Structure 1
Amino acid sequence: MIRVGRRAGTRISRLLAAVLTAVVLSGCGDDGYQPSGPFRPLPEGPPPQVGPPSSSAPIPGDPAQPGSGEEAGDPNVVASGLAVPTGLVLLPDGSAVVGERDTGRLLQVFADRSPARELMTVPGIDTAGDGGLLGLAISPTFLEDGLFYAYVSTATDNRVVRFPLGGTPNPVLTGIPRGETHNGGGLLFAPDGTLFVGTGDVGDPALAQDPTSLAGKVLHIDVFGGAVGAGPVHSTGHRDVTALCQSLEPGEVGAPGGEGAPTATLYATDDAAVGPDAVDRVAEGGDYSVLPPLIEIPAEEGGPGGCAAAGNAVFVGALDGQRVHAYTLDGTGAVVGDPEEFLGGQYGRLRTVVLDAEGALWITTSNRDGIGTPVEEDDRVLRILPPSAAGTSPL
């Protein structure tokens, strides 16, 4: 049970109403794409693996054995017994695929709390420092091509790769600087099918403003790794972009053929080594070493690891703060009032936050990351609705 005060419950209820409205709107006025048939993974030949193995990379012990949500005995838990689940994507059938940072495993988890299914292990990942499998996305035409995209650390760089289920990864974008900390990992497809990539400054803030470096940036590329526009750098001056999210608005009515393409507002979490953390509203060409953040989070409440947005609501998962922050935005995009919080201290460190078509949040815990204090069921994948006005989750 998730308990909040009456005032908090009312405000989060309004947030949930805004989210559900946005989910309905985002399903209207599609681009006319029709899948050619059921999901069929397509082979991509024998490209090189993700990266060369590293003798300095720690060798994981026996991987955790995934379990069902029922084993955890908590109706909010859809899967348990995972090892630092980081990237999470929703599939068209309503299930989700989650990637483990340290093992590279991909597992399918289910809203009905059925046992998790191990799908594959992404090879060649280097887990030194805070590296590993750091982000996950699925192709905009997933029903047709079955492709997954991942942001991973190798022994020599961070990179974006793509692969069909069970296939060997193809490099999409390589050469993103690699360090012991601040390796980034945000991945997000825009409505037009291009890809945003969030990177970190690898502990060197000067790189975030260096136009020749891919570190400390939000990058914008196509599905083959080519730059969108004048170059791959969309914004600069970031510290550690671990997650990207967007809210969508319907396109303008009156365009030939009906509604135009939806417009998106892009947000990036930015985890600082020192001082407050941030959520930035990302604009092309912006330098976020000088621009003020949309949201500033005190360090003890922060460690933003994931975000989800819809309509005028933004949800941020906090590692150090061990909670989800819920923010309401006004018509200008500015934060209104104080944030509401839920799950505070209930499940430990919270990382990925993804919003599904029913307005529920999928959230991963990160208690086996060497910093948290795991319990027997960790790590877990949660699925909850933000609290209702009655003060409890409907799930």
Structure 2
Amino acid sequence: MSGCSPSSPDGAIPPTATPSTPSGSASGPPAPAEGFWRPTGAPTTLASGLTAPWSVVPLDDGGALVSQRDDGSILELTASGDLREVGVVPDVVSGGESGLHGLAVWTDGDERWLYAYHGASDDNRVVRMPLTGEPGSLALGEPEVVIEGIARNSTHNGGRLAFGPDGMLYVTTGDAQDRTASQNPDSLNGKILRLTPEGRPAPGNPFGNEVYTLGHRNVQGIAWTSDGTMWASEFGQNTFDELNRIEPGVNYGWPIYEGMEDDDRYMDPVATWPTSDASPSGIAAVGDTVFMAGLRGERLWVIDTDAPGIADEPAAFLTGEQGRLRDVVASPDGSLWVLTNNTDGRGTPRAGDDLLLRVDIAPRG
């Protein structure tokens, strides 16, 4: 590996990177895709030696930013394949499943901001930091709070961030082991939140506050298919994990229901899985296909959508080949990038065990 590398704790394997050979230009976002898509060929490794990575954000120059949950660090994978530390998000307090989680990048004129969801000493919060410097030497400015006061616990912390087609910031939260919070529209927990980039409740939100949807246990992934439909992956308790179609103001039933119940008061998921087959995390959408990373299930689920539901039974790829999959994103080069997150099952990472993978995709034949 060339370039500088992040510092590692004693005994940790230092991160390394492998230059990628993208099949297309990464100078801008991919052209809009349509239809259904499938992985093709074996994955290739873009970066290795990561420790508890949680979120990856591709950059327009062909590089990416990666968050590491437990040490609060942000890593930059450069377009040439080097891996370096951009900085450490201040005041990250890790423990259990909490720490540094989702990332999102927002450009406003000449300014570029990195948003990060993280556990602090008393809560979960979203901060944003100026992202300065040129590719290969990016740096973080001082953080400012976007939203705070999201309850935290050892589990059920949510943590995914994404800017939607409407330019608003979407934030997923867990119930933080307080089931009553999910049904309370005045609580930030057990929700999908919708905010302006500055952190105010977005115009048109259904409850007049930050809340966009309620009745969630622990949403881990959000994405939009080509028709503008929003989808979310959600951890179940003991029986069913879920993929949900997201509509403003809708109640998704937790903790009254888990999985399908056919109750008009609540929205049923469009697909469910036994928790042993999924434990879903990040999702990506290309055309009308949703790709869902599975932790306990150790596979990439591929779901062809046909709103308001799905077109076919979900199909599994990468089954057991890479271990636990934490995040999947659509890259500007037209591929998928997948983060592994292999732990001992108690939230403790095996240092240097994780990878950032590149997976080619093609239209379904």
Q: TM-score range, shorter-chain basis?
A: 0.7 to 0.9
Q: 1:358 to 1:68 in 2, by over 3 A?
A: closer
Q: How many angstroms does 1:375 deviate by?
A: 7.8
Which of 323, 331, 343 matches 2:299? 323
Structure 1 residue aligned with 2:287: 311
Match of 1:132 in 2: 99
Distance 1:355 1:70 in 2: 18
Contact 1:78 1:110 in 2 (8 A): no
Q: Which runs of 4+ in 1 moved over 3 A?
A: 60-64, 368-377, 386-390
For structure 2, the residue ranges without an aligned partner over 5 or more in a row are 1-8, 21-41, 131-138, 254-265
Q: What residue number does 1:217 align with?
A: 191
Q: Which residue of structure 1 lines up, in the alignment, with residue 46 of structure 2?
A: 78
Q: What does residue 257 of structure 1 align with?
A: none
Change beyond 3 A, Cα 1:111–1:93:
closer
In the other structure, the counterpart of 2:260 is: none
**How many residues get paired?**
312
Aligned 8 A contact 1:351 1:365 in 2: yes
Q: Residue 161 of structure 1 aligns with which residue?
A: 127
Is 1:286 equivalent to 2:235 in the alignment?
no
Structure with the bigger percentage of strand: 2
Query: In the TM superposition, what are the counterparts of 1:294-373 in structure 2 within 5 Å?
Result: 294-330=270-306, 332-368=307-343, 370-371=345-346
Q: 1:273 to 1:64 in 2, by over 3 A?
A: farther
Structure 2 length-normalised TM:
0.80
Q: Is the 8 A contact 2:58 2:332 kept in 1?
A: no
Distance 1:62 1:155 in 2: 27
The one-letter amino acid of 1:243's match is G
In the TM superposition, what is the alpha-carbon distance from 1:337 to its structure 2 partner? 2.1
Give the SS at the match of 1:207: helix
Deviations 1:347-388 (A, max 9, x none): 100011101233311110001465489888621100111378
What is the match of residue 176 of structure 2? 202
Displacement of 1:294 in angstroms is 1.6
Q: CA deviation at 1:315?
A: 0.5
1:148–1:376 distance in 2 versus 1, CA, 3 Å = closer
Deviation, 1:389, is 7.8
Mapping of residues 32-43 of structure 1, within 5 Å: none
1:68 aligned residue = 17
Distance 1:109 1:293 in 2: 36
Alpha-carbon distance in 2 for matches of 1:169, 1:353: 26
Change (3 A) 1:116 1:243: same
Query: Hey, what does 2:31 align to over in structure 1?
Result: none
Once the 2 structures are TM-superposed, how far is the Cα of residue 97 of structure 1 from its aligned partner? 0.5
Give the Cα–Cα distance (whole angstroms) in 1 for the partners of residues 226 and 317 of structure 2: 24
**Shift in Å, 1:111:** 6.0
1:31-90 superposed Cα distances (whole Å, 9 cap, x missing partner): xxxxxxxxxxxxxxxxxxxxxxxxxxxxx766652101379xx96110000111111111
Measure, in 2, the Cα distance between the counterparts of 1:95 and 1:369. Answer: 30
Secondary structure of 2:146 counterpart: strand
The yes-or-no answer on 1:171 pairing with 2:145 is yes
Q: How many percent of aligned residue pairs carry the same amino acid?
A: 38
Q: TM-score, normalised by structure 1?
A: 0.74
Q: 1:357 to 1:210 in 2, by over 3 A?
A: same
Letter in 2 for 1:120: G
Summarize deviations over 1:281-301 as a string: whole Å, max 9, x none. 110001001310122121111
1:192 offset after TM fit, Å?
Answer: 2.6
Q: How many Å apart are 1:248 and its aligned residue?
A: 3.5
Separation (CA, whole Å) in 2 of partners of 1:75 and 1:339: 20
Write out per-residue CA displacement over residues 321-350 of structure 1, whole angstroms, 9 at most, x where no aligned residue.
Answer: 0000001123x3421222121111111000
Matched letter for residue 54 of structure 2: T
Give the partner amino acid of 2:223. Answer: C
- CA–CA separation in structure 1 for the residues paired with 2:344 and 2:76: 21
**Is 2:154 aligned against 1:180?**
yes
1:124-182 superposed Cα distances (whole Å, 9 cap, x missing partner)? 111112101110000143x7212100111001000110002322211000001111110
Structure whose residues are more often helix by fraction:
1
Paired residue for 1:90, among 41, 54, 58?
58
**Aligned counterparts of 1:376 and 1:231: Cα–Cα separation in 2:** 41
Does the aligned pair in 1 maintain the 2:52–2:354 contact within 8 Å? yes
> Within the alignment, does 1:119 sit opposite 2:68 as a pair?
no
Name the CA distance, whole Å, in 2 between partners of 1:178 and 1:151.
12
Aligned residue identity for 2:288: N
Query: Given residue 101 of structure 1, which amino acid in structure 2 is its aligned partner?
Result: R
Q: Which amino acid aligns with 1:69?
A: T
Q: Distance in 1 between matches of 2:334 and 2:183?
A: 37
Match of 1:101 in 2: 69
For the structure 1 residues 166 and 116, does the alpha-carbon distance in structure 2 shift closer, same or farther, using more than 3 Å as the test? same
Change (3 A) 1:380 1:327: same
1:375–1:233 Cα change, 3 Å: closer
Contact 2:164–2:170 (CA<8 Å) still a contact in 1? yes
Q: Is the 8 A contact 2:293 2:325 kept in 1?
A: yes
CA separation of 1:70/1:310 partners in 2, compared to 1, >3 Å: closer, same or farther?
A: closer
Amino acid at match of 1:322: E
